Amino acid sequence: MRKKIIETVNSLETKVDSVFLGYATCQSLAGIADELKVPVSMLSGSDCIEALLGTDDYDREKKICTGTWFSSPGWATEGRGGLVKELHLDSVEGVDPSFFMDILFASYERCLFIDPGIGNTEEFRSKSEIFASELGLRHDCRTCGTDGILKAFLKAKELANV
């Protein structure tokens, strides 16, 4: 992903004044701005959940229950099948992906649905509840906003002198 982002953004060098890169660092993107030829603004935080909740609330939620799976609308939509696909848990022939899911989620206690207020809340919450139920996790829900996303977007506009 990193290579593709660098390629794509650098191909825009003479075409745009700045780029809003809608990713948090997610480990693989740390320091990427140094490799880009165009000024870039990214989401702050180590991942999309921290970008939505903010560092303080993210840390607080992890302290409430260290075994928390954070369920965004995207993860709620993808559900168990999306996780199996993303982690390639179905790649061992003859082994049911549930075997690996059970191992991965053995220390989890809670599924926390993060509602950023983008609409379809009941649909996303319901899907998150199904995921939690499939894994035997307690389900909680909390709201947040999209302030972190807006802040990063406005920074891109500032970099472009717009």
pLDDT score for 115:
95
Output the pLDDT for position 26: 77
Spatial separation of the C-alpha atoms in residues 18 and 40, rounded to whole Å: 6
Neighbours of 81 (CB within 10 A): 11
| Each residue's pLDDT tens digit, 38-89 | 999 988 888 889 989 999 999 999 999 999 999 999 999 999 999 999 999 9
Q: How far apart are CA 38 and CA 19, in angstroms?
A: 7
What does the pLDDT look like over 87-126, one tens digit per residue?
Answer: 999 999 999 999 999 999 999 999 999 999 989 999 999 9
Is residue 162 scored above 70 in pLDDT?
A: no
Specify the pLDDT at position 28: 84
The tens digit of pLDDT for each residue in 121-149 reads 999 999 999 999 999 999 999 999 888 88
* Pairing of the two strands 68-71 and 110-115: parallel
What does the DSSP assignment read for the chain? -HHHHHHHHHTTTTT-S-EEE----TTTTTTGGGG-SS-EEE-SSSSHHHHHH-HHHHHHHHHH-SSEEEE-HHHHHHHHHHHHHHTTTT-STT--HHHHHHHHTTT--EEEEEE-S-S-HHHHHHHHHHHHHHHT-EEEEEE--SHHHHHHHHHHHHHTT-
Q: Are 101 and 80 in contact (CB under 8 A)?
A: yes
pLDDT at 1 (0 to 100): 84
Give the pTM: 0.82
Up-side HSE of residue 141: CA atoms within 13 Å toward CB? Answer: 14
CA distances to 25, 30, 132, 139 from 75, rounded to whole Å, are 18, 23, 11, 14
Average per-residue pLDDT for the chain: 92
Residue 37 has pLDDT above 90, yes or no: yes
